[in-house]
Amino acid sequence: MSELQLLHSGKVREMYVVDDQHLLMVASDRISAFDVVFNEPIPDKGRVLTAMTVWWSEYLASVASTHLVSADPADFPEAAKRPEWAGRALLVRRAEMLPLECIVRGYITGSAWKEYQEAGTMHGSTLPAGLLEAQQLPEPVFTPSTKATEGHDINISYDEAVKIVGTELADAARSVSIEAYRQASQHAAQHGVIIADTKFELGIVDGEMVIADELLTPDSSRFWPAENWNPGATPVSLDKQPVRDATEATGWDKSPPPPPLSPETVQATRDRYVTAYERITGESFTQWIGQS
């Protein structure tokens, strides 16, 4: 069996070349926090990310196409039909990616909350005084950032995004991102989950803007159980929060090497990822590809 050419290895995913028009995107169980990859994997994390991406790709098809071709191993080239990749690999179209992180915020939290506390602004735009942490914004806001090859992404204004990609692409990216967020958040709310914010990756395939990479997963979004949301406090989040909490409690300085994760932290994190998938999609994770 011939090997696929490894194109890129990131913190969580590997990208392999299939042919001139297609790639294979494989999600591992690696987890990172504070830009550091931990030694302990989170079982099934890669399959959760893949399953959610497929589900949202179908749900949001009326908003925008995605680069997804198939998650079915039967559609993969022979070199990609590895048992360990079942349920965590996606055959995708190659896209010319926009050099922007297309973030949409419906609630003020994270780096946006930190900026607001310091300057009363979000991505440079002034916000009303007196907002509380985790408060819902009047309307979803497109808040792009740069894609850093090293270090952290940098939050930028919409005008700065226009300077990077031009008015036409920036307008299209904002429109697609906000509408995808709006429809996704409305669906999630019906299942008791708040999507506080999310990050989209957009690209161009055959002259058409598409949503690429992972889509509305716990790694790219903040999912809050609605029953725990209370403006003025940091809500419980269905993501890697157990990892952040446990490692910060050790006094770790957030530089490599990371402290080891306990079995309890690993299990709690897996539970949150699976819960996010099952609550939002209404489907059992046990039915996903590669699950026994």
pLDDT at position 291 is 85
Contact (Cβ atoms closer than 8 angstroms) between residue 59 and residue 181 = no
Instruction: Supply the CATH classification number for the domain 1-94.
Output: 3.30.200.20
Specify the range with the lowest mean pLDDT, choosing from 86-90, 135-139, 153-157, 286-290.
153-157
Radius of gyration from C-alpha coordinates of the chain:
19
pLDDT category at 149 given cuts 50, 70, 90 is low
> Residue 49: which of 282, 247, 241, 270 has the closest Cα?
270
**Could you count the other beta carbons within 10 Å of the beta carbon of residue 83?**
7
* 38, 55, 198, 238 from 31: Cα distances, Å: 6, 22, 18, 14
Nearest to 113 by CA among 137, 134, 89: 134
Contacts of 263 (CB under 8 A, 6+ apart): none
CATH code at 97-228: 3.30.470.20
CB 31: neighbour CB atoms within 10 A? 26
- Which tokens belong to 65? 């196409």
Task: Return the structure tokens found at 226.
Answer: 């609605």
- C-beta atoms surrounding 129 within 10 Å: 7
Indicate the pTM of the whole model.
0.95
> pLDDT tens-digit profile of 210-230?
999 999 999 999 999 999 999
Q: Please answer whether residues 36 and 151 qualify as being in contact, where contact means their C-beta atoms are separated by less than 8 angstroms.
A: no
What is the model's pLDDT at position 50?
A: 98
Average pLDDT over residues 238-255: 94
The domains of the chain are located at: 1-94, 97-228
Is 90 exceeded by the pLDDT of residue 39? yes
